[in-house]
Amino acid sequence: MSTPEKAAPPEASAAGATVGPVQRRASVFDTLRKASDRVPTKWFAAIGTGVFLAATAAFGGLNPVAAEIEAPRALVAGDIHVNEQFAITVQRAVLIDDLREAGVAPAPGTRALVLIATVTNVWDEPQGTAGIDSLGRLIAVDGLGSAEPTGIARMDDQTFLPRLQPDVPVELAIAWRVDAGAFTAGDEITVVLHDQTLYTGSTVLSGRYWADRDVGARVALEIADVGAGTDAAS
């Protein structure tokens, strides 16, 4: 192995006068070749593995990416929950015979479970309270399955299914139709508030939409029974 190396320099210097730049480039590769010739072949695998591991250390190692999952917050009445769409404060829960203004007309054997909540749209576009990408998709009550509210109305002027403007706080009555015996005064219920993620459509979709519903918070409330109600939605 050493004989070709000793032979190379005399040949290179003999041709030195006419091939100057070529000779410089060749000697860089020659140096590399000579250096790698000195390393035992079986070491290359170990060296390659070491270089690869060292390179991954620059990017956080080989650990799988730790998903950022926060446990849902446990809240009580009056606590505010903020996600990317709305800031919601559930004030109280009442049981009432009916709430026409919020879409629960009187019917035998059923009552209305109503949450009074202060909601602010914290996104940059108006959002509705019913339908896709709306507040109705984000509020559920444990014990009613995943039923969306029967109806939502503003407390101040009874507007049904209002559209919420950005950064304007509104007090809402959110009503579900429930069986008359399902809840009683003093029962504790859990209101589940969901969070969604904003996606921007590309290629085949246009516009922005919300998806990936996760539980963001659970609010524990005690139900008050107002019977038939006096001035129901105020």
The overall longest dimension of the chain from CA atoms, in Å, is 112
8-state DSSP, 137 = G
Nearer to another protein, 91 or 165 (CB): 165
152 contributes a contact to another protein by CB under 8 A? no
Contact string (CB under 8 A) for another protein, positions 94-133, x = contact: -------x----------------------xxx-------
Residue from 159, 182, 215, 229 in contact with another protein (CB under 8 A): 159
8-state DSSP, 39 = S
Phi and psi dihedrals of 141, rounded to 5?
Answer: -115, 130
CB of 159 to another protein, least distance (A): 5
Residue from 168, 185, 205, 224 in contact with another protein (CB under 8 A): 168
CB of 142 to another protein, least distance (A): 31
For residue 107, give the 3-state DSSP assignment. Answer: coil
CB of 233 to another protein, least distance (A): 10
With contacts defined by CB under 8 A, how many residues of the chain interact with another protein?
18
Nearer to another protein, 88 or 102 (CB): 102
163 contributes a contact to another protein by CB under 8 A? yes
Q: Among the residues of the chain, which ranges form H helices?
A: 2-14, 20-38, 43-57
DSSP string across 105-167: ---TTEEEEEEEEEEEE-SSS-B-SSSTTSGGGTEEETTSTTPPPSEEEETTT--BSPPBPBT
CB of 124 to another protein, least distance (A): 5
Distance CA 216, CA 196 (A): 9
Applying CB under 8 A, the residues found at the interface with another protein are: 101, 124-126, 153-154, 156-160, 162-163, 165-168, 206
